[in-house]
Amino acid sequence: MPRTAAPLLTSPIPRVADSDRRRTSASVVLRSVLEHGPVARSTIARLTGLSPASVTDYCARLAESGLIRESAVPLRSKGVGRPHLPVDLDGSRFVVAGVHVAVPHTTVALLDLRGRVLARRELKHEGAGPARVLARAADGLAALFAGARGSRPLGVGFAAGGWVDRDSGTVVEHPLLGWREVPVRDLLAAHTGLPVHVDGHARALLNAERLFGPARGSRSVLHLFAGNMVDAAFATHDEVHHGPRSAAGAIAHLPAPGGSEPCDCGRSGCLQAELSERTLCRRAREAGVADGVNPMHVVAAAAAGDTVAAGLLRERSRRVGRAVGLLLDVLNPERVVVTEIGAMHREDCLAALRAEVGAERADTVAPIGFTDSVPAVAGGSVALDVLYRDPLGTPPEAI
Ligand SMILES: [Zn+2]
């Protein structure tokens, strides 16, 4: 048998490139400032394991970019020595823009670097064709930029339900809007002249929870989004899973146990058909408790004492809880976040949802932390995730 040379030069284990290391280091420094600012550089070094010299260097570069600045109030070190000038996010210079396209309307918003919504507008669709919807979104953003008092937009984040591919920047398929293979990134970039980042809204909101919400620090998080669309997203070790063409999390047509609601796909009893807000609203109309297609009207009726409306909401939350239970068995996350209107607004609905998940794991389930601003946060957090992942990737002065 011929002897073969040992494969010294190739290895299945990837090497960490210097550029990856730099990006990761800049990212953890900025994340530390987000979580702990105002914070001393020595504390960042302790928290991140980077050398004090490295932290000083990254802080200087982040300050040059205008993302952080030295805080005005020095932190006194114990006893003698010169006071530390802590660093904090610089909230005065930059904002990010968000576009979220839902079935009935688009939400445009400006967010600061802490993910807080500074301004927003809701634009009702005048026809759901993508060219018109995205042109109006860009006009809406331009109006918000005009009122932003000198803050410059770093970029635009776009989020929608359905199948959205981050890498190609397209909405691959959104059946309720009738969108297929829409190059959203290119269209919005042409309108706004800004860098545009695109993702599915279940992943976008999970990133918002990971960066700014209660899920910060969790090692694994599942997010179930139950609006008109029903999607899921899953993150482990600070990374939201996308998979090939970002198709992960497409749970709309999983069978809901005991479901009989007809679905657009031709079958019946799919999760999306059962749990959609459209179905909730139709049931509310049939029961005579609320008109129209706005699920908040059902919540308002329940809050005003309508027991039928409250019962419809509880039943839906219970069924969402059952879906969460199924996903928990597959993914075993440390924490679960649900975007579901009942659980977000009513204790009895949250209790019904948790009861269905099971007593042992009920405490791991919480409603999303952005109850009043879900669409605004979803769009903006797509851009903020890119920023925090690679803060020195696109110097603001180049935009
Ligand atoms: Zn279906």
Residue 268 Cα, ligand 1 centroid: separation in angstroms? 6
Domain match, 364 and 381 both: no
Residue 272 Cα, ligand 1 centroid: separation in angstroms? 7
What is the per-residue pLDDT for 399? 40
Q: Tens digit of pLDDT for each residue in 70-84? A: 987 665 555 555 567
Domain match, 287 and 359 both: yes
Residue 283 Cα, ligand 1 centroid: separation in angstroms? 19
Range of the domain at 152: 94-205+375-398
Residue 367 Cα, ligand 1 centroid: separation in angstroms? 25
What is the per-residue pLDDT for 217? 83
Number of domain units in the chain: 3
Domain match, 28 and 98 both: no
Q: Tell me whether residue 13 is in a domain.
A: no
Domain match, 308 and 356 both: yes
Residue 251 Cα, ligand 1 centroid: separation in angstroms? 9
Query: Using 50, 70 and 90 to split pLDDT, how confident is the model at 398?
Result: very low
Which tokens go with 293? 């297609």
Q: Tell me whether residue 153 is in a domain.
A: yes
Domain match, 358 and 314 both: yes
Domain match, 154 and 254 both: no
Domain match, 234 and 362 both: yes
Residue 230 Cα, ligand 1 centroid: separation in angstroms? 11
In contact, 209 and 237? CB cutoff 8 Å: no
Domain at 61, CATH number: 1.10.10
pTM above 0.85, yes or no: yes
Domain match, 235 and 312 both: yes
Domain match, 38 and 146 both: no
In contact, 383 and 98? CB cutoff 8 Å: yes
Residue 228 Cα, ligand 1 centroid: separation in angstroms? 13
pLDDT surpassing 80 at residue 11: no
Residue 229 Cα, ligand 1 centroid: separation in angstroms? 11
In contact, 85 and 70? CB cutoff 8 Å: yes
CA angle 279, 369, 277 (to 5 degrees): 5
For the chain, give the percent of residues with pLDDT over 70.
Answer: 92
In contact, 327 and 257? CB cutoff 8 Å: no
Residue 261 Cα, ligand 1 centroid: separation in angstroms? 9
Residue 341 Cα, ligand 1 centroid: separation in angstroms? 21
Domain match, 239 and 316 both: yes
Domain match, 249 and 360 both: yes
